[in-house]
Structure 1
Amino acid sequence: GTPKGRPIRSPPRGPGGGLLMGRPFGVPVYVGPSWFLVAALITWVFGGQLERVLPDLGAARYLVSLFFAVAFYGSVLVHELAHTVVALRFKLPVRRIQLQFFGGVSEIEKEAETPGREFLLAFSGPLLSIVLGGVFYLALQPVERGTVLGVLLAALMISNLVVAAFNLLPGLPLDGGRMLRAVVWKISGRPMTGTVAAAWVGRALAVSVLIGLPLVSQSTTFGAGPDTSVGVDTVTDALLAAIIAAIIWTGAGNSLRMARLREHLPELRARTLTRRAVPVETNTSLAEALRRANDAGARALVVVDGHGAPLSLVRESAIAGVPEHRRPWVHASELAQDLTDGMRVSAELAGEDLLNALRATPATEYLVVEETGEIYGVLSAADVERAFVRAMARPSAST
């Protein structure tokens, strides 16, 4: 839970430690710290393979391998940009693209409105990876085999086709899972039903990868004859399978939680969560202000000027910090936070619009006003968070 009275904080706009690479289509692209680890790993592993294929390269093979790592992630970026372009075409805001440990992530802030759009949005990435694989295949045709360029083009062709095939697996959080979600959503008429189905297929996929990948790799290794590195390879394959399985399992769970969040968001309404408030003037003592609030059955205090216009909100946490014997001698206004424009929210706000309004101006209390400008009451961030937790704890209506 969240400590009482803590403001709802704005989500970080950029990943911690991420390096901003540019803003194609106005969307920031970040490279996460884990990418450098993977780039180094790819450079090392691919460099070892180049030693067998192109023995004359010597130490320069690691430069070629580094170029492949960068070019491969360039292909991943193109894959994510495909999602981004389609999302923007459907007027879905994209917060950022992040390249990280296992590929990339396009953070699209809203759900597609129809299953058809969801399917197209999901399929666009793998489709472009297949197209890139085809482009590298065509580029490879006139190139002599056994050359640096030939090996690079072949590796990029294969890696893009692998990315496409992996992403087309029909389980969340993969693109294929989102396509499956869209199909089930279309058939059932319920997006949540699609999410549940695709998430559980994703979890089954995670288990399959965990068990199947080492078995497949082991059988192909044994088929190749005796090899002194089998022990090391087996451990490496098992570790890789565990990492991929964990990413898929976690992603499937997160997809379920996000879907439940979106389903319950409309339940968060400013009007129903707002506390009744009593207006008090600047020189009113805290004791008198609390007496008036108790008499009126109110749970919040708004400091107003002589004309009744709101000036500030008395913080609940500050009241708790004043001993009862001191309250007659402390002005309520001394415990108040001055109102800013962002701390005035409409009583009509609900769901995602309400949360976005609160995140835009972090505070512990907000003044809720009618469309006429009349004071409706005070909204506590702690009340919103408690309501949010309760809503998320309830089972989904459509599962």
Structure 2
Amino acid sequence: MSDTGSDRPTGALLMGRPFGVPVYVTPTWFLITGLITWLFGGQMNAVLPGLGAARYLVALFFALAFYGSVLIHELAHTVVALRYRLPVRRIQLQFFGGVSEIEKEAETAGREFWLAFSGPLLSLALGAVFLGGMQLVEPGTVPGVLLAALMLSNVVVAAFNLLPGLPLDGGRILRALVWKVTGNPMAGTLAAAWAGRLLAVAVLVGMPTVALYQAPQASMTSTLVDAVLGAILGAIIWNGAGGSIRAARLRERLPELLARALARPAVSVAADTPLAEALRQVEAAGAHGLIVVDGHGDPVALVREQAVRTVPLHRRPWTATGAVSRGLEPGLRIPADLAGEDLLDALRSSPAGEYLVQEPDGAVLGILAARDVELAFARAMAGQAPLPAAV
């Protein structure tokens, strides 16, 4: 996928394209990296007091290595998604970890399970690798401390992600299991999303409570930090769970986005027809689109509605219809039976204002306006039935 402005998160830096998938570092990553460096550097002073100020360089190395492990975790999801022919839009490294933006759902519960489990599984494997490395170095040295910290952090990442609630990997595993038992992916989503909301409340209340229990004499600053982190993490999980429900309900409605139902009736005219006359024919026929045809009656271009609006009324009798049209490129021909995500993918691959809708035998059905699809998509997101195109 090209690195367009719409693909790049605001303020993010492109770090590379492993497996053809762009990896971005968001501004919040720098914040959390700095926080990890500061906290781990303070802990290093107690473990290796002889390092002095150099402990912060060691802490920075740990923060970078930790996020390298997070990236490997996300790449595991990406590789499995690509193996199942699921497009991955991008990977983001950000506050509280990373995320792989997979644009389609797995087709079966089994694939959903492996797609979700691959990340924690690889984090556990990394933890085992670092554990093995610990056997080769002295425990009281810088390499020993770093390997121990990376082993523990990867195990924690795996354990946290396996918690059974969306949007965590464990929530997707729970969704896959409920889906497998019930045969209903929506039932799995609802079960895992509500588990995620319960988990969000538990994190919100539990993080500061556990911190106080473990260290009753902790400073007010330390307690406040735990409470703020718990609130942020709880809000992320809660919003992610709600977003999963909305996305699942939207996918249930997507099949209702059918090119045939949204196609506008259109009138065919020659390219040299005056625009005023072409618009008169459209009004007389009760149509809402214009197709430019050649001498054999075959469609060669589509009149752009936006371009028509720019032509003043007094100029329309002297403006040829072909002057406000766009040639029919291959991506502008849409099969009448195209629906749902396939329809949206077709429109994304060839951005335009209008598309020609054709029957399987090549007969012209009408014109599909991008804004009609956008309106129908918005109604589907709101849980409303898509309206047919204007007739």
Structure-1-length-normalised TM-score: 0.89
Q: What CA distance in whole angstroms lies between the structure 2 residues aligned with 1:304 and 1:376?
A: 14
- The 8 Å contact of residues 11 and 359 in structure 1, kept in 2 or not, is answered as no
Which one is further off, 286-295 or 323-332?
323-332
How far 1:43 moved relative to its partner? 1.0
Q: What CA distance in whole angstroms lies between the structure 1 residues aligned with 2:23 and 2:319?
A: 52
Residue by residue, what CA displacement relative to the aligned partner does 1:316-351 show, whole Å, maximum 9, x if unpaired? Answer: 344455566665454433433343332222223211
Question: Any idea what SS the aligned residue of 1:112 has?
Answer: coil
Aligned residues: 382
Which one is further off, 59-68 or 124-133?
124-133
How far 1:60 moved relative to its partner? 0.8
Q: Which has the higher contact order (CA 8 A, sep 6+)?
A: 1
Q: Which of 349, 363, 370 in structure 2 is aligned with 1:360?
A: 349
- Distance of aligned partners of 1:208 and 1:36 in 2 relative to their CA distance in 1, 3 Å threshold: same
1:155-304 to 2 correspondences below 5 Å: 155-222=149-216, 226-227=217-218, 230-304=219-293
Q: Which of 358, 383, 388 in structure 2 is aligned with 1:369?
A: 358
- The 8 Å contact of residues 250 and 383 in structure 2, kept in 1 or not, is answered as no
1:313-392 to 2 correspondences below 5 Å: 313-320=302-309, 327-392=316-381
Q: Which amino acid aligns with 2:203?
A: V
- Unaligned 5+ runs, structure 1: 1-9
Q: Which amino acid aligns with 2:232?
A: I
How far 1:176 moved relative to its partner? 0.4
Which one is further off, 327-336 or 186-195?
327-336
Q: Counterpart of 1:49?
A: 43
Q: Which amino acid aligns with 1:63?
A: L
Question: Any idea what SS the aligned residue of 1:172 has?
Answer: coil
Q: What CA distance in whole angstroms lies between the structure 2 residues aligned with 1:116 and 1:338?
A: 45
| Corresponding position: 1:23 with 2:17 | yes
Which one is further off, 87-96 or 238-247?
87-96
Q: Which amino acid aligns with 1:140?
A: M
How far 1:241 moved relative to its partner? 0.9
Q: What CA distance in whole angstroms lies between the structure 2 residues aligned with 1:333 and 1:88?
A: 43
How far 1:313 moved relative to its partner? 2.0
Q: What CA distance in whole angstroms lies between the structure 2 residues aligned with 1:276 and 1:11?
A: 35
Residue by residue, what CA displacement relative to the aligned partner does 1:30-75 show, whole Å, maximum 9, x if unpaired? Answer: 3223222221211111111111211110111111111101111111
Question: Any idea what SS the aligned residue of 1:128 has?
Answer: helix
1:89-104 to 2 correspondences below 5 Å: 89-104=83-98
Residue by residue, what CA displacement relative to the aligned partner does 1:127-170 show, whole Å, maximum 9, x if unpaired? Answer: 22122222222322343232111211111111111101110111
Question: Any idea what SS the aligned residue of 1:146 has?
Answer: coil
Q: Counterpart of 1:116?
A: 110
Q: Which amino acid aligns with 2:147?
A: L
1:72-111 to 2 correspondences below 5 Å: 72-111=66-105
Q: What CA distance in whole angstroms lies between the structure 2 residues aligned with 1:22 and 1:363?
A: 30
The root-mean-square deviation of aligned C-alpha atoms, in Å, is: 2.2
How far 1:208 moved relative to its partner? 1.5
Q: Counterpart of 2:389?
A: none
- The 8 Å contact of residues 249 and 383 in structure 2, kept in 1 or not, is answered as no
Question: Any idea what SS the aligned residue of 1:280 has?
Answer: strand
Q: What CA distance in whole angstroms lies between the structure 2 residues aligned with 1:387 and 1:34?
A: 35
Q: Which amino acid aligns with 2:206?
A: G
Question: Any idea what SS the aligned residue of 1:254 has?
Answer: helix
Q: Counterpart of 1:68?
A: 62
- The 8 Å contact of residues 363 and 381 in structure 1, kept in 2 or not, is answered as yes
Counting aligned pairs with the same residue, the percent is 66
Q: Which amino acid aligns with 1:379?
A: L
Q: Counterpart of 2:27?
A: 33
Q: What CA distance in whole angstroms lies between the structure 2 residues aligned with 1:198 and 1:174?
A: 9
